[in-house]
Amino acid sequence: MAVGPNTFPVMLPIKGFKLGTTSAEIKYKDRRDLVVMEVAEGATVAGVFTMNRFCAAPVQICQKHLAAMSGQHTGVVSPKRYLVTNTGYANAGTGPDGYKNSIAVCERMATIANVSVEDVFPYSTGVIGERLPIETINGALERCVENLSEQGWEDAANGIMTTDTRPKGSSRKLSIEGESVSITGISKGSGMIMPNMATMLAYVATDVGLSQALAEDLLKEAADQSFNQATVDGDTSTNDSCMLIATHESGVVFQTESDEGYQQFREAFIAVCVELAQAIIRDGEGATKFVTVRVEEANNRDEARAVAYTVAHSPLVKTALFAADPNWGRILAAIGRAPMNDLNVDAVSVYLDDVLLAEKGSVAQSYLEEDGSRIMAQEEFYIIIKLGRGNVAADVWTCDFSYDYVKINADYRS
């Protein structure tokens, strides 16, 4: 179950970036579950990761390998690099053995590709606490390499899924200073979705050139405006990773934010990340509604987000969304317990799209129950909260809680 049409976009190839996928039968038979991505020499790689203190072994290794990469001397052409993703098992909560197992995957990939271990970045997603079947994964890596192709995006989007019901992709082409530039990305995620990041993996590649510092800054900004504005259930995963790969193949190179054409590229890159983040919410476990919680008239963004997340996380609000029940009292209760100071409840007003639900601490005199029910019966709508405190706004994307959310997570390990 998911919200919106199940259409996978046309994915523009990125010169210098290849993807190969296979069925290794890591946990399930007859499904793609192992993906290798090859990054050409000279590319820039950046990443942002989960803030969960029990972060998985592959996250720790990726951060270590990225740090080693960032320490290379300026002017040194980066070698080929490989990103290896397995589904089925998260390799989190597995202690020293889990770390050794992820390193073993890196070592096998390094041997196959004739690169150093530090040039391999591992990613895992699936059940927490269970160890990787190393022989199964390592035995299938060569099949992924044999399948490497710049056209391999859709297979890879399927290969990184866990409880997802559909692959997620986004791709854009733009012209900068007369040169054609492409941005293409895939993501996975369906449950355990919460900012900082979410149980998600995302890989976004572009054929522009970016300095290391600019790539890191751009990815942090893009994640903050996309993946960190999405929440399904308020649980932050142990394995979240989002990667930017800039292959330098288009002839367009950006060193700083002030470079000609950079802002145009930046906006397109963030738009791709937003589309991927929203696709995750549309495919939230058991989701039947895609809801934007917009908080307006706040003093600052942190305050606006705090209110939006409190509403978006509320199980009572989310179950009302599923039932198409415009229970405005639940929304007011969530706003009232949001972590903010000196809220004047008489200044707050709440809307469903353009229908005024509540104002001045009570139901609006103009409100009709049938109007609220009509809006909430839609697959997509806004909850708009005006705080009456300032002029800052923020959005958070969320979904409802259906019966299927409980079923999916109750049966997750079976």
Q: Which residue numbers are catalytic?
A: 199
Alpha-carbon distance 236 to 52, whole Å? Answer: 7
Using left for φ > 0, alpha for ψ between -120 and 50, and beta otherwise, residue 170 falls in beta
CA 117 to mean position of chain CA atoms: 26
Using left for φ > 0, alpha for ψ between -120 and 50, and beta otherwise, residue 44 falls in beta
Scanning 283-348, the segments in alpha helix (DSSP H) are: 301-313, 315-323, 328-336
Q: Are 307 and 347 in contact (CB under 8 A)?
A: no
Contact partners, residue 100, CB within 8 Å, separation at least 6: none
Contact partners, residue 251, CB within 8 Å, separation at least 6: 179
CA 190 to mean position of chain CA atoms: 10
Task: Tell which residue, 124, 12, 29, 16, has the closest CA to residue 77.
Answer: 16
- Strand ranges, E, within 62-128: 81-89, 120-127
CA angle 311, 353, 313 (to 5 degrees): 15
